[in-house]
């Protein structure tokens, strides 16, 4: 890695240590200018008091910026001390830090306060930069004051714009990192869902094999029992048919079960039920998206209806990660009543959706599953808030 990139990464990983080093180096430079100017003790004390808060610049950028500016103005107005050697680097530093780390109103307030300090410095220039001539005109004072005020304001503006640009780059980087985490979670969920689909297909095939084979075995056994009294040879042949059928069924079952044997935890996990929605919520929270999950009542649903409700929540969360990655929050509300269950999944990322959600457990497939149990499912933007996407499902209770 290039040296300056390694240095930038180290500064980012050690913000407080790098800030302390910067303040110390700036302090030594300031001492050099102060010694060369042969200033008095009041100047030394004023510069020391203005210099100490800079060590907390990254911890409390707004407070330090206002405190540092107030101390500089106090030194200038009350003690007639202008710590120019310190302000040459300290004021742009605190403005830059506030532009990166402070909220919008706070950083704009710091910028305006710094511009006000530049105007005060230009106004007091006759006490500092025109003390050598015995007589100076008002025009000379105005020119010198304007020059120093505009120069300091220009440095402050450059520092503020640089900090604002750096803040924008950091926000975009954080958004890209957050999107990458969500895409990784989405990919893992898609792989898991694909594995569950395949296992469900294999389970159906195994059910067909076992059901067919047992039907044949039962029919042959009944026939052999009745034929044994009149023709033992037919009974022997029938028993052979039963043995062959059972062996073939056993071989097919072993082949299908061999596919299901895997190190993946999903291979041996039971069919998910409603209480496992919390695991889905935890996985989405790990991706950096806050999810609110609220459940009330006890379910009065069959196992298949519970699985359908679970799949609706799973598909809704997957679609948030896939299509609404800019969402800032998701809310899942499940209400169980004696006559059925109702669920609503909302997210505030509908404005960022660029394509219709689809997938192995798409909304169309979920509608068919919900219709199978006599329920209803709707999905679309909220009528009053276009930026909110809502999925609602209603399932009737199990008949007793």
Number of alpha carbons in the 13 Å side-chain half-sphere of residue 120: 19
pLDDT value at residue 161: 92
Q: What CATH number matches the domain at 195-267, 1.20.120, 1.10.287, 1.20.5, 3.30.70?
A: 1.20.5
| pLDDT exceeds 50 at position 238 | yes
Q: What is the mean pLDDT of residues 159-165?
A: 91
User: pTM value?
Assistant: 0.48
Neighbours of 92 (CB within 10 A): 20
pLDDT score at 257: 64
Of residues 107 and 323, which shows the higher confidence score? Answer: 107
Select the more confidently predicted residue: 111 or 30: 111
Give the residue-averaged pLDDT of 382-396.
88
Supply the pLDDT for residue 36.
57
pLDDT, residue 1, reads 54
197 — phi, psi (to 5°)? -60, -45
Of the ranges 157-166, 191-200, 209-218, 353-362, the best mean pLDDT one = 157-166
State the pLDDT at residue 371. Answer: 85
- Per-residue pLDDT, averaged over 260-282, amounts to 64
pLDDT band of residue 253 (cuts 50, 70, 90) is low
- Cβ contact 46:79 at 8 Å: yes
Q: What is the pLDDT of residue 80?
A: 74
Residue 286, pLDDT score: 65
CA–CA separation, 118 and 96 (whole Å): 16
What is the model's pLDDT at position 394? Answer: 93
Percent of the chain at pLDDT exceeding 90: 12
pLDDT at 387 > cutoff 70: yes
**Residue found by looking up tokens 């610049």 in the block:** 57
Asked if pLDDT for residue 334 goes beyond 50, the answer is yes
User: What pLDDT is stored for residue 341 in this prediction?
Assistant: 92
Domain residue ranges of the chain, discontinuous segments joined by +: 3-179, 195-267, 274-396
What is the per-residue pLDDT for 391? 92
In DSSP notation, 297-360 reads S-----HHHHHHHHHHHHHHHHHHHHH-TT---EEEEEEEETTEEEEEEEES-GGG--S---ST
Neighbouring-strand partners of residue 293: 332
**Above pLDDT 70, what percent of the chain?**
76
Predicted pLDDT of residue 354? 43
Instruction: Look at strands 291-296 and 340-347 and give their pairing.
Output: unpaired
What is the average pLDDT value for the chain, to the nearest integer? 77
Separation of alpha carbons 311 and 322, rounded Å: 16
Residue range 27-59, pLDDT digits in tens: 887 777 666 555 667 777 888 888 888 888 888
Lowest mean pLDDT among 170-184, 226-240, 259-273: 259-273
Residue 332 has pLDDT above 80, yes or no: yes
The confidence score (pLDDT) of residue 183 equals 84
**pLDDT of 117 strictly over 80:** yes
- 357 has pLDDT over 50: no
Section 83-95 average pLDDT: 84
pLDDT of residue 42: 79
Query: pLDDT tens across 126-138, in order?
Result: 666 545 455 667 7
Dist. CA 112–CA 244, nearest whole Å: 92
Tell me what pLDDT residue 208 has.
55
Q: Pick one of 3.40.50.450, 3.40.50.300, 3.30.565.10, 3.30.590.10 as the CATH number of 274-396.
A: 3.30.565.10
Computed over its alpha carbons, how large is the radius of gyration of the chain? 37
Position 65 pLDDT exceeds 50? yes
């Amino acid at each position: 890695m290039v040296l300056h990139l390694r240095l930038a990464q180290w500064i980012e990983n050690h913000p407080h240590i790098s800030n302390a080093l910067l303040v110390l180096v700036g302090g030594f430079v300031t001492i050099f200018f102060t010694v060369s100017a042969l200033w008095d003790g009041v100047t030394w004390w004023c510069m020391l008091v203005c210099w100490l808060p800079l060590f907390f610049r990254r911890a409390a950028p707004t407070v330090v910026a206002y405190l540092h500016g107030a101390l500089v103005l106090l030194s200038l107005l009350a003690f007639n001390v202008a710590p120019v050697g310190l302000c040459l680097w300290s004021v742009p530093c605190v403005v830059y830090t506030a532009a990166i780390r402070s909220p919008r109103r706070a950083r704009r307030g710091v910028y305006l306060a710094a511009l006000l300090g530049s105007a005060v410095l230009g106004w007091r220039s006759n006490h500092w930069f025109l003390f050598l001539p015995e007589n100076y005109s008002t025009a000379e004072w105005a020119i010198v004051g304007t020059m120093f005020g505009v120069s300091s304001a220009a440095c402050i503006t450059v520092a503020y714009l640089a900090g604002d640009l750096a803040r924008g780059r950091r926000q975009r980087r954080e958004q890209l990192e957050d999107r990458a985490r969500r895409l990784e979670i989405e990919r893992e969920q898609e792989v898991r869902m694909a594995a569950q689909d395949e296992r469900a297909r294999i389970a159906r095939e195994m059910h067909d094999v076992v059901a067919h084979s047992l039907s044949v075995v039962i029919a042959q056994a009944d026939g052999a029992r009745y034929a044994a009294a009149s023709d033992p040879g037919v009974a022997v042949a029938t028993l052979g048919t039963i043995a062959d059928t059972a062996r073939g069924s056993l071989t097919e079952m072993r082949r299908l079960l061999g596919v299901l044997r895997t190190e993946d935890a999903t291979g041996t996990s039971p069919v998910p039920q409603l209480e496992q929605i919390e695991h889905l919520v935890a996985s989405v929270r790990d991706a950096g998206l806050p999810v609110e999950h609220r459940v009330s009542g006890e379910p009065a649903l069959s196992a298949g209806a519970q699985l359908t409700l679970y799949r609706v929540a799973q598909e809704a969360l997957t679609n948030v990660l896939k299509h609404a990655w800019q969402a800032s929050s998701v809310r899942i509300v499940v209400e169980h009543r004696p006559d059925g269950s109702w669920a609503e999944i909302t997210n505030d990322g509908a404005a960022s959706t660029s394509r219709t959600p689809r997938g192995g457990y798409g909304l169309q497939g979920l509608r068919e599953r919900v219709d199978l149990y006599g329920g209803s499912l709707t999905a679309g933007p909220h009528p009053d808030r276009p930026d909110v996407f809502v999925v609602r499902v209603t399932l009737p209770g199990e008949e007793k």
